[in-house]
Structure 1
Amino acid sequence: MSNDEDVAVSKTKSHRKEKLYWKIDPFLPTDNKAGAFAEESSFATLFPKYREKYLREVWSAVTRALEAHGVACTLDLVHGSMSVRTTRKTYDPYIILKARDLIKLLSRGVAVTQAVKIMNDDISCDIIKIGNLVRNKERFVKRRQRIIGPDGSTLKAIELLTQCYVLVQGSTVSVMGPHKSLKEVRRIVLDCMKNIHPIYRIKELMIRRELAKDPKLATESWDRFLPQFRKNHLTTSAKTAKKNEKLEAKNAARTAAGLPAESSTDVAAKKKVYTPFPPAQLPRKVDLQLESGEYFLKKHEKDARDSAKRKQKQAENTEKRRAERAEAFVAPTEDAAPTVEEKRKRKRKDLTLEAARERSEEVEATKKKKKKSKHKAEEEVDS
């Protein structure tokens, strides 16, 4: 009985496993019941001139990869194109679309070792055109570089989170990976070209990856966990309220400093008065010449005037340089030592000042003594 029960449990588990994990079987030649195709399908694509040398070197590897699926390929160096077509040996009707993607990736700069992986059933590709999304050339280059990041760090983060291969080349971004991840990469690239930094989407993907590990959150909405990177556009009333708050804070600081408060009308008065008329047009060079009379001068007169101005300027510069050179030869002013007479006069002056100071001190001392004696006499009379 125990053996039968064990067998029953194992059968149930294996059945559940088959339901949970749906395995896609490869398309084999035996699956094509209709035999060879009635019509030939073909695709062609152009490639840039700088890819010609590389494609000639690796074309044998491309031919071998396509022959395994019964697809023929041609490299036309005269017209600069690659083409693929079905043959009598082709058994998979969808493989021609995979071959078309292969030559597209090769023309966009993807290496052959990476491009041949597109022939697998679980890998798809997407070529995102970004050349016409931004008009300004400098802005386009900056935003395209933002996808790559410093030392390719942003691009590496996108590849790790989405399990995709991403190549930024010229005006396109080539992506290879699972179909669901291709949509994520396309969203990141297009948002980046709309001036939304890829780091915001990378943060969101990292949070989603962590939330997917928790089975309790499988049936719940993840919106409360995801960051909201949206610009808040304030209404007119909200803008006015914010402006009034700033004005109140400024007035509080002014009153604390002992300055008069400002009102909203004062702030409005400081602004320039709006006028619907454009400013006056600046005069042209010809107009200025007409006003000064220079326009009517002859060629030799103009040359004479210019040479006179040039000579005057040269004379001024020469005089300036001569004065600068002469400054080095000017002797500095020296303080002369005092003579015997000056020393005697200074000594006499110092003696007279000292005698005057002593005399004034003696006078003040006598005045104080008189005052004291007077006070004593008054006190004796009172007593």
Structure 2
Amino acid sequence: MSDDEQTVVANKNKSHRKDKPWDTDDIDHWKIDSFQPSDNKGGTFAEESSFATLFPKYREKYLREVWSAVTRALETHGIACTLDLVHGSMAVRTTRKTYDPYIILKARDMIKLLARGVAITQAVKILNDDTSCDIIKIGNVVRNKERFVKRRQRIIGPDGSTLKAIELLTQCYVLVQGSTVSVMGPHKSLKEVRRIVLDCMKNIHPIYRIKELMIKRELAKDPKLANESWDRFLPKFRKNHLKTSEKTAKKNERLEAKNVAREAAGLEPSTSKDAQKKKVYTPFPPAQQPRKVDLQLESGEYFLKKHEKEAKEAEKRKQKQAETTEKRQAERAEAFVAPAEEAVPTVEEKIKRKRRVMESEMDDEEAEGLEKSKKKKKHKHKLAQE
């Protein structure tokens, strides 16, 4: 066969596509190149852009100390900044030296992070192109304050171990401060951290998400699984909340199985506690309780005069107070009651006791002597008869 016959017919949809010898496999198409001054030769912008944010009072001292470092970091990108201690605000704005149109948004994020408690050494990293930030608001997720504090502490973990695991797996910097969580890192990792934090505030422990991230990291190392679904490897955590009717049905099933086993053993079937406690239904309502006025009429209190009623109430109050005081005095007196102790015998009692012991011993010796003498007499009498 000739070479002309072996030529492959090109697809009509791809007929206009040409070979690109410059497009090789070693080129990263997803790489974001940094923005240089040469990329914007036009120079200044048409209008000045500015952003401002408030900061809490406790951050004022720290911001005053590090503001020179903030100014130096922003000046390299042509951004001017001001610190207003009277109104408690920070502001950033573009200048004639600004060449990057997006850097003003990065500067805005930087002052936001500084206001939320992030250190200057970490906040400066937001100016890099490969770093983004996200401030997650968690204050309105949980209403109960105690529950909110517990779940927020769960994000940090014992000795900060859970937070450290999240930072290592997502390559992000995470700071839990007040009612917000500040996160810095790659854009894809910010979504993972947001998911972990919000799930934790909804009572899903962070360890489940951490396990999932660990499994994904191990699976990413295997090139065979690059184009496959990882759902079969990932753990599935489901909430098992049963309805009341489902709980009752399961309870009844267990009770029936138990009764079958008892009948097979020749025992009486057992009834549930609810059935035992269940009262007999009666269609008639319970008897009406007497009113307060009826009780006063029966006791004759209703016909008493105002001053007599007040005197009676005062007497009852005094009697109740007297009973309470007696009870309290008895409780207090219990602490001062000495425990039962054996009194140390006096010298006279010791002498009397010794005399009694000696007398009892002497009586025992005399009784023994009499018995021996009787035995001897009997023995002599027998010998004399023989």
Identity %: 77
Q: Would you say 1:38 and 2:46 are equivalent positions? A: yes
The aligned counterpart of 1:222 is: 230
2:182 match: secondary structure: strand
Q: Would you say 1:63 and 2:71 are equivalent positions? A: yes
Paired with 1:287 and 1:59, the residues of 2 have a C-alpha distance of: 80
The aligned counterpart of 1:17 is: 26
| Structure 2 unaligned blocks of 5 or more | 1-20, 344-386
Paired with 1:268 and 1:234, the residues of 2 have a C-alpha distance of: 22
Matched to 1:66, the amino acid is: L
Superposed, 1:156-305 pairs within 5 Å as 156-232=164-240, 242-252=250-260, 254-255=262-263, 259-262=267-270, 268=275, 270-271=277-278, 293=301, 296=306, 297=308, 302-305=313-316
Matched to 1:152, the amino acid is: G
The aligned counterpart of 1:48 is: 56
Q: 1:253 to 1:314 in 2, by over 3 A?
A: same
The aligned counterpart of 1:98 is: 106
The aligned counterpart of 1:81 is: 89
Matched to 2:40, the amino acid is: N
Paired with 1:220 and 1:184, the residues of 2 have a C-alpha distance of: 21
Q: 1:35 to 1:287 in 2, by over 3 A?
A: farther
Superposed, 1:318-337 pairs within 5 Å as none
Matched to 1:100, the amino acid is: R
- Residues 298-323 of structure 1, C-alpha deviation per residue, up to 9 Å, x if partnerless? 6566445544554466678889979x
1:109 match: secondary structure: coil
How far 1:112 sits from its partner (Å)? 0.5
Q: 1:329 to 1:235 in 2, by over 3 A?
A: closer
> Greater helix share, 1 or 2?
1
The aligned counterpart of 2:118 is: 110
Matched to 1:186, the amino acid is: R
2:92 match: secondary structure: strand
Q: 1:56 to 1:262 in 2, by over 3 A?
A: same
Paired with 1:287 and 1:180, the residues of 2 have a C-alpha distance of: 76
- Residues 263-308 of structure 1, C-alpha deviation per residue, up to 9 Å, x if partnerless? 68x9557456899xxx999999999999985995565664455445
How far 1:134 sits from its partner (Å)? 1.1
2:235 match: secondary structure: coil
The aligned counterpart of 1:6 is: none
Paired with 1:46 and 1:230, the residues of 2 have a C-alpha distance of: 42
Paired with 1:325 and 1:122, the residues of 2 have a C-alpha distance of: 78
How far 1:57 sits from its partner (Å)? 0.6
Paired with 2:329 and 2:245, the residues of 1 have a C-alpha distance of: 67
Among candidates 139, 148, 151, match of residue 147 of structure 2: 139
How far 1:15 sits from its partner (Å)? 3.1
How far 1:21 sits from its partner (Å)? 6.4
How far 1:24 sits from its partner (Å)? 2.7
Q: 1:263 to 1:16 in 2, by over 3 A?
A: same
The aligned counterpart of 2:162 is: 154
| Structure 1 unaligned blocks of 5 or more | 1-11, 332-383
Paired with 1:261 and 1:172, the residues of 2 have a C-alpha distance of: 58
TM, length-normalised to structure 1:
0.70
Paired with 1:289 and 1:317, the residues of 2 have a C-alpha distance of: 32
Q: 1:69 to 1:231 in 2, by over 3 A?
A: same
- Residues 319-363 of structure 1, C-alpha deviation per residue, up to 9 Å, x if partnerless? 9979x97996999xxxxxxxxxxxxxxxxxxxxxxxxxxxxxxxx
Matched to 1:105, the amino acid is: L
Paired with 1:281 and 1:194, the residues of 2 have a C-alpha distance of: 48
- C-alpha RMSD of the superposition: 4.2
How far 1:254 sits from its partner (Å)? 3.8
Paired with 1:220 and 1:177, the residues of 2 have a C-alpha distance of: 27
How far 1:237 sits from its partner (Å)? 8.7
- Residues 125-175 of structure 1, C-alpha deviation per residue, up to 9 Å, x if partnerless? 000011111111111111111111111111111001000000010110000
TM, length-normalised to structure 2:
0.69
The aligned counterpart of 2:17 is: none
Paired with 2:287 and 2:182, the residues of 1 have a C-alpha distance of: 53
What is the count of residue pairs matched by the alignment?
314
Matched to 1:223, the amino acid is: D
Q: 1:317 to 1:66 in 2, by over 3 A?
A: closer
Matched to 1:127, the amino acid is: I
